[in-house]
Amino acid sequence: MKTELKTALVMGIILVVAIGGASAYFSSLEPQIQKTQNQSDESSQIQSKVTSEIPKIDKSRFKKAPELTGISGYINTTPEELKAAMKDKVILYDFWTYSCINCIRTLPYITAWNTKYADQGLLIIGIHSPEFEFEKDSNNVQTAVKQYDITYPVVQDNEMKTWKAFENRYWPRKYITDSEGYIRYDHIGEGGYAETEKIIQELLQERNQLLGLNIVSAQSLVDLEEHQFTASQTPELYFGYNFAFGRNQLGNSEGFKPDQIVTYSLPEKLTRDYFYLEGQWQNFDDRMKLVSENGKIILPYFAKSVNIVAANESDLQILLDEKPVTPENAGTDVQDGTAHISGDRLYNLISSNDAGAHTLTIIVKPDFEIYTFTFG
């Protein structure tokens, strides 16, 4: 056989073998390619099925949240920034005021939710609606915002216009709207934290689906120690004659005398859950002020802790059951049996391990002003 023919024959054989091998190789890949394609189609079908199964919610029974109105100040934001941030967000509106003990006890949960869900589409707006005149002061509110590590937007609703727009009547109160602005949840007071957080998670997931976002919201819940209320706990007590209307628990026979200076004397018998005054006190609509050289407040109560909302510079001597309060029962604002009042805010005077019946005596000096007793 000629060399040229032999060479051509060999090359032909090699080519046939190569083509056959390649054909076998690609044939072996075909099932895998088909499998991958099928998986992709299946995944697409599942996603389409999930999307199609999103329940249609009839929102005709829900009210839309009113716009923020009458706002006198913005903290941690500006009007423009806040308006832009609210678009397509699940929004938690928290009505609070900084001297309210019930509001204060909710803040650890709210700030934790902000940390946990802000990047997932939750916007928290603190609506600071003041109970007392001094709570309108922007510096006081900013101090409280810093004290409680609040980094979400806070607006000052000093004229209570947003409060009224929401038809609110309570501190604290939380409204949650979905990403379309419908109010889907409303909670009054403390507690209900797990329920509230589950609503946040559900509305965030609903938002993700509506906006076509591939975000998975966290399912675990914030785990904090919740305040335990005491049965038969003494209720909040007001020193202003307007605030005490319909819930007067001033035990002195002299009673309230609007806008007058009254000399109060202690009766022989004291009743639990009533407060008693000694000395000359000026009556205001929201508070009382000691104007004599010396004065006392005596309160038989049942609770674990006792707080006051107070103002002006003053040192208070604190007695528990007619003895100087011990470190074991002293509140966080009491040192060596004395509470130093240096600003308009809430002060913790008693913090006991267990709730019980006791008598608190506060020895006060001139110009001291007191608004309320609150308990825990």
d(C-alpha 144, C-alpha 134), whole Å: 13
Backbone dihedral angles phi then psi of residue 189, each to the nearest 5 degrees = 80, -165
Domains defined for the chain, CATH in brackets: 60-211 (3.40.30.10), 237-375 (2.60.120.260)
Say if residues 99 and 131 touch (Cβ distance below 8 Å): yes
Q: List the chain pLDDT tens, one digit each, 376 residues.
A: 433 333 443 344 344 444 444 444 434 434 443 444 444 444 444 333 434 445 678 898 999 999 999 999 999 999 999 999 999 999 999 999 999 999 999 999 999 999 999 999 999 999 999 999 999 999 999 999 999 999 999 999 999 999 999 999 999 999 999 999 999 999 999 999 999 999 999 999 999 999 999 877 668 999 999 998 888 999 999 999 999 998 999 999 999 999 999 999 999 999 999 999 999 999 999 999 999 999 999 999 999 999 999 999 999 999 999 999 999 999 999 999 999 999 999 999 999 999 999 999 999 999 999 999 999 9
The neighbouring-strand residues paired with 363 are: 296, 317
Q: Report the predicted TM-score, pTM, of the whole model to 2 decimal places.
A: 0.84
Q: What is the dihedral of CA 305, 309, 315, 319, to 10 degrees?
A: -30
Q: What's the order of all strands across the beta sheet hosting 183-188? A: 73-75, 154-156, 122-128, 90-96, 173-177, 183-188
Integer angstrom CA distances of residue 99 from 15, 47, 71, 221, 316: 91, 50, 19, 28, 19
Say if residues 184 and 177 touch (Cβ distance below 8 Å): yes
The total of other beta-carbon atoms located within 10 Å of residue 333's CB is 21
Q: Locate tokens 């919740």: which residue?
A: 226
Structure tokens at 7: 């060479």
Q: Terminus-to-terminus CA distance in the chain, angstroms?
A: 111
Say if residues 206 and 184 touch (Cβ distance below 8 Å): no
The total of other beta-carbon atoms located within 10 Å of residue 209's CB is 14
